[in-house]
Structure 1
Amino acid sequence: MSRLTSTALAAIVGLGLALPSAASDTPDAVTQAKITEQLTADGYEVRKIDSEDGMIEVYAVKDGKMYELYLDADLKVVKTKEES
Structure 2
Amino acid sequence: MKTIIAAALLAATSIAVPAHASEKIDAATQTQITEQLTAEGYEVRRIDTEDGYYEVYAMKDGKKVELYLNDALEIVKSKSDS
Please name the residue that 2:23 is paired with. 25
For residues 34-57 of structure 1, what are the alpha-carbon distances to aligned partners after superposition, in whole Å with 9 as ceiling and x for unaligned?
000000000000000000011100
1:1-84 equivalence runs, <5 A: 24-84=22-82
SS of the equivalent of 2:23 reads: coil
TM-score (normalizing by structure 2): 0.71
TM-score (normalizing by structure 1): 0.69
Q: Distance in 1 between matches of 2:24 and 2:81?
A: 22
RMSD: 0.9
Q: Tell me: CA distance 1:30–1:79, structure 2 relative to 1, closer, same or farther (3 Å).
A: same
Unaligned runs of 5+ in 2: 1-21
Q: Distance in 2 between matches of 1:32 and 1:70?
A: 13
Q: Distance in 2 between matches of 1:26 and 1:51?
A: 8
Larger RCO, structure (CA 8 Å, separation 6 or more): 2
Q: Which has the larger radius of gyration?
A: 1
* CA drift at 1:30: 0.3
Q: Extract structure 1 runs of 4+ deviating beyond 3 A.
A: none
Unaligned runs of 5+ in 1: 1-23
* Seq. identity, %: 64
